[in-house]
Structure 1
């Protein structure tokens, strides 16, 4: 996947009646000193009514003889006009748990069949700008299963995803190298990489 294969053609203000995914909000609030202020933010329109989250991020680790590897994706993102290095992720459907969404999204985007290990608390992506949130779901991928030998992703017509793996031990260095090559690094994978480096430094 190269950057030249997809590109932004133009940008323009989004008319409110055309907005499917988001809406802009002006909030009037009072600060701790009693001063009334305003705050501009964005909200998702897609959160299921019975859910406390918008979506999930998926941490899938493959046990290899050379060491554990994390499943990552390359996906073009128009807001950045760049290909972004990301974890598998997706929105939660109506009536679906975070764990169910993670198993479904991983299969659809990568082809891997997995089982849930654990789920994080609710995480807020950019609370100064929007109300979007998610849970990180850690899954186990049994590489002995036939389905995980012959991967068959089920991408939607508008999804263009390239799946690859990086050794956990080299994740920080690989992120630096990928950024130097022109890719954007999603904060979720960068945070995992930085956490690994902190754990190494302090021998945790």
Structure 2
């Protein structure tokens, strides 16, 4: 896998003048007792003006005879200096809906052509640290379509993504196995896998 050759070269503080898509901010607020406090956080600077979200995560399900499978990705992430197991995802473009962005990003990153099923409420990735948010868009992939028989991803020159499939019923066990192999697990996948396990346990 090409991104397996990626490695961190250096790490140093980022000057505000050098930041391209993030900024650090200090929030001042009053707590329930009326005490004035401050909070350090990060914010994206790339959210389109008319959008209420930064991006989308995509739950893409392939219906197969052996059971439904979910589309996952392996991608090197410099903040962790690890290859991360992720759902397809991406930022919203100006004028796009979450659903349009999801269909576009899935096609670009994986080659799959999908149909939207439903969209989640707005979710916040790490609200104690940043204001970044997204909607999860659930899509289905019709494997009978010619486009889904001959996948043609449209990756940018700085994207190195390996796409793979996992049986939805085995997602939790696969996360455990991949972590043991040295991969980092994105929280969105882990939460989905944990939800499936809870549903099994309580027969929901």
Shorter-chain TM-score category? over 0.9
**Any conservation in 2 of the 1:73–1:161 contact (CA below 8 Å)?**
yes
Structure 1: gaps (5+ residues)? none
Residue of structure 1 equivalent to 2:106:
106
Aligned pairs for 1:114-125 (under 5 A) are 114-125=114-125
Partner Cα separation in structure 2 for residue 24 and residue 89 of structure 1: 23
**Any conservation in 1 of the 2:60–2:71 contact (CA below 8 Å)?**
yes
Partner Cα separation in structure 1 for residue 193 and residue 78 of structure 2: 24
Partner Cα separation in structure 1 for residue 193 and residue 31 of structure 2: 36
Partner Cα separation in structure 1 for residue 135 and residue 49 of structure 2: 17
Aligned pairs for 1:50-69 (under 5 A) are 50-69=50-69
Partner Cα separation in structure 1 for residue 142 and residue 2 of structure 2: 31
Structure 2: gaps (5+ residues)? none
Does residue 158 of structure 2 align to residue 175 of structure 1? Answer: no
Does residue 63 of structure 2 align to residue 46 of structure 1? Answer: no
Per the alignment, in what secondary structure is the counterpart of residue 121 of structure 2?
A: coil
**Any conservation in 2 of the 1:3–1:82 contact (CA below 8 Å)?**
no
Q: Deviations over 1:144-169 (max 9, x none)?
A: 00000000000000000000000011
Does residue 132 of structure 2 align to residue 141 of structure 1? Answer: no
Task: Provide the aligned length of Structure 1 versus Structure 2.
Answer: 204
Aligned pairs for 1:5-84 (under 5 A) are 5-84=5-84
Does residue 151 of structure 2 align to residue 151 of structure 1? Answer: yes
TM-score normalised to structure 2 length: 0.99
Residue of structure 2 equivalent to 1:195:
195
Per the alignment, in what secondary structure is the counterpart of residue 197 of structure 1?
A: helix
Residue of structure 1 equivalent to 2:97:
97
Runs ≥4 in structure 1, deviation > 3 angstroms? none
**Any conservation in 2 of the 1:69–1:166 contact (CA below 8 Å)?**
yes
Per the alignment, in what secondary structure is the counterpart of residue 131 of structure 2?
A: coil
TM-score normalised to structure 1 length: 0.99
**Any conservation in 1 of the 2:50–2:95 contact (CA below 8 Å)?**
yes
